[in-house]
Amino acid sequence: MMTSACLRPLYQLVGNAAGKRWFPILAALALTQSAWAAGAASEVDLSAAQTLIEQRRYDDAYGLLAPNAAKDTSSAQLAYLMGRAALGRGQAEQAREWLTRSLQLQADFIDAHLALGQAYYRLGMLAEARLAFETVFRFDNLPPDLESQVRIYSQAASQHLEGGRRLVSFGYAMMGIGQYWVNPTKGTNALGGNDRRDTFYNARVGGGLNYELADNYALDGSLDYRFRYYDNPDSRNDSDLRWRAAVSRAENEANIAAGIFGRVSYRGESTYRNDYGAFADYRYRLDADNQISVGGEVRRRRYPEGRLRQRTFSTAVANVGWVRALADGQASFSLKAHAGYNFATGRPDGDSMVYGLTGNLDFTLTETVSGFVFGWWEHDSFDAERIHFHPDALDQIVSLQRQDNLYEVGAGLVWDLGGGWSLRPEILFTRDQSNAVAVNYSATEAWMNLRVDF
């Protein structure tokens, strides 16, 4: 045995008599030195493997690590490096197993979460990949479809894992053409506006940043600008600038974030609307297929001047959500409920209690075509009783408290053209239903956008 071979020279060195007396002490020293040397060798091996992976010499790293990987089942770093090497060798399923083991040993291992997301992505399990990436990243203004979101996350993960970057980013630009038409309702019929039909051109540009700090903290921010131009000179042209800044922390399978946000919107006739507020959000990956979240925000919607000034109000709202991976990661379903209160308002109808629900279904049809369907509903119950037109007879008026139900239903397809380019047809139906006749409204929009991600 190797141990006997190491100790035999010590025994011979001191002689038979002395050896019998000093052998136990010398043997203990020799074994300690041997164990230290073995531990040092192990550390050198991990460091060398890390260097090989950074050099993208994945076969060499795998060969260096594999002999010890089966023996050492307690090292999260070793399991992580095995996963990275397997991922580089194109062995995505083996990489997933190693990275899962690494996170079982060290659940707050940021790089292992990102690498696990990459493994799921390579396996075509897009929904699981998104949940893994979202234990680390906090990106805003992502496209609505699952495949595009995961591609953006994957590129950011590559910037960090393979490029060694603490600051990762994404950007996008798109433009398109569409049609907007008003549907008949009691409100639009009364105002004579149900025959409106406009062609519009739209453009959008934006992006986001994520900067890694110590102790699993990160700073992130986003900027998004949107513009819509209508052919009809009687229709207003819309512009919208949105921003967001936050600090987040990844802890085990969870991510918690808090930050501020704002929005400046042009509303026509030299009128602007300003939104600003603060938020906090917590999400937790229950397992590979499920994520839950809870959050809240306080915001102020302000019309500084003009005819809409009385619509200024503040909102406090809380939400709880659930995301579920479906169809082996080729689809996902999400559901989010929210409830809150609108207050400090100058609206004649007073303050209001609000609650609602949002549902999304993302799916993949082929390697290049994916899509999404979503629905949103909110109920607003106002607290001031005032004079309105009768909801069923426009020549009568009644005193009532306003009750609104707001709906949005939309769907879209995404055709991946390669190189970050995609073609995106979408449709959106909007319905505002109220017991106050003038507030009833409905519209349908359809458009085609060309988008590039970079």
Please compute Rg for the chain using Cα positions: 30
In degrees and rounded to multiples of 5, residue 125 shows phi and psi of -90, 75
Coil, strand or helix: which one is 348? coil
DSSP strand E in 5-108: where?
none
Instruction: Using a pLDDT cut of 90, give the percent of the chain over it.
Output: 71
Task: Check whether 224 has a pLDDT greater than 70.
Answer: yes
Kindly state the average pLDDT of the residues 243-262. Answer: 97
Domain 166-453 has CATH 1.20.120: no
Question: pLDDT tens-digit profile of 54-86?
Answer: 999 999 999 999 888 878 888 999 999 999 999
Is the CA virtual torsion 391, 396, 402, 408 positive or negative? positive
pTM score of the predicted model: 0.85
Coil, strand or helix: which one is 30? helix
Give the chain's end-to-end CA distance (angstroms, integer): 59
Cβ contacts of residue 31 below 8 Å, gap of 6+?
3
In degrees and rounded to multiples of 5, residue 317 shows phi and psi of -140, 145
pLDDT of residue 347: 81
What are the residue ranges spanned by the domains of the chain?
2-106, 166-453
Helix then strand then coil, % of the chain, to nearest 5:
30, 45, 20
C-beta of residue 434 within 8 angstroms of C-beta of residue 403: yes
- Arch. (CATH architecture) of 2-106: Alpha Horseshoe (1.25)
Task: Check whether 27 has a pLDDT greater than 80.
Answer: no
DSSP strand E in 288-351: where?
290-302, 313-326, 331-343
- What span, in angstroms and rounded, lies between the C-alpha atoms of 253 and 260? 24
More confident residue, 21 or 372: 372
Question: pLDDT tens-digit profile of 93-147?
Answer: 999 999 999 999 999 999 999 999 999 999 999 999 999 999 999 999 999 999 9
Nearest to 161 by CA among 45, 54, 47: 54
- At which residue do the structure tokens 């207050």 appear? 343
Cβ contacts of residue 161 below 8 Å, gap of 6+?
84, 111, 114, 115, 118
The lowest-confidence range among 10-24, 94-108, 347-361 is 10-24
Chain-centre distance for alpha carbon 333? 14
Is residue 189 within a helix (H) or strand (E), and if so which, with residue range?
A: helix 186-191
pLDDT of residue 335: 98
